Amino acid sequence: MRTIDSLGPLRSRTVIVRCDLNVPLSDGVITDDGRIRASLTTIRELRESGARLVLISHLGRPKGAPEARFSLRPVAERMSELLGAPVGFVGQTVGAEAAEAVRGLGDGDVLLLENLRFNPGETSKDESERRAFAAELAAFGDAFVSDGFGVVHRRQASVYELAQLLPSAAGRLVAAELDVLRRLTDDPARPYTVVLGGSKVSDKLGVISHLLERVDTLLIGGGMLFTFLAAQGHDVASSLLEQDQLDTVRGYLAEAERRGVRIVLPEDVVVAAAFAADAEHEVVAADAIGASRFGEAAIGLDIGPAAADRFAEVIRDSATVFWNGPMGVFEMEAFANGTRTVAQALTETTGFTVVGGGDSAAAVRALGFDDQQFGHISTGGGASLEYLEGKPLPGLEVLA
Tell whether 154 is in a known binding site: yes
**Active-site annotation holder among 44, 250, 382, 391:** 382
117 labeled part of a ligand binding site:
yes
Is residue 376 marked as binding? no
Cα 214 to Cα 179, 190, 193, 211, 263, distances in angstroms = 17, 10, 10, 5, 13
* Residue 22, annotated as binding a ligand: yes
d(CA 161, CA 144): 11
Phi and psi for 212 in degrees, rounded to 5? -60, -20
Is 60 annotated in a binding site? The answer is: yes
DSSP three-state, residue 208: helix
Catalytic residue, from 13, 18, 34, 35: name it. Answer: 35
The Cα 174–Cα 337 span in angstroms is 32
Closest among 20, 108, 113, 104 to 60, alpha carbons compared: 20
Q: Which of 265, 263, 271 is nearest to 329 (CA)?
A: 271
Question: Can 8 be counted among the known catalytic residues?
Answer: no
C-alpha Rg value of the chain to the nearest Å: 22
58 is in an annotated binding site: yes
Active site residue 35: yes
How far lies 105's CA from each of 56, 102, 328, in Å?
Answer: 15, 6, 47
Cβ 321 vs Cβ 291: under 8 Å: no
Is residue 331 annotated as involved in ligand binding?
yes
- Residue 6 assigned ligand-binding role: no
Asked if residue 86 lies in contact with residue 79, where contact means CB atoms within 8 angstroms, the answer is no
Which SS3 state, helix, strand or coil, does residue 172 take? Answer: helix
Burial class (CB in 10 A: 0-12, 13-18, 19+), 125: exposed
Q: Distances in Å between the alpha carbon of 114 and those of 90, 93, 179, 297, 322?
A: 6, 5, 30, 46, 34
Catalytic residue among 148, 338, 358, 375: 358
61 is in an annotated binding site: yes
In this structure, the number of other CB atoms found within 10 A of the CB of residue 323 comes to 31
- Sorted by sequence, the CB contacts under 8 Å of residue 159 that are 6+ apart come out as 18, 146, 148, 151, 152, 394, 395, 398
Check the annotation: does 21 bind a ligand: yes
Q: Of the residues 73, 200, 250, 391, which is catalytic? A: 200
Is 200 annotated as catalytic?
yes
255 three-class SS: helix
- The DSSP-derived string for 365-399 is HHTT--GGGSSEE-S-HHHHHHHHTT---HHHHTT
300 annotated among ligand-binding-site residues: yes
3-state secondary structure of 215: coil
Give the annotated binding-site residues for substrate. Answer: 20-22, 35, 58-61, 117, 154
Give binding residues as ranges.
20-22, 35, 58-61, 117, 154, 204, 300, 331, 357-360
Q: Which residues participate in the annotated binding site for ATP?
A: 204, 300, 331, 357-360
Positions annotated as catalytic residues are 35, 200, 358, 382
Binding-site residues for (2R)-3-phosphoglycerate sit at 35, 117, 154
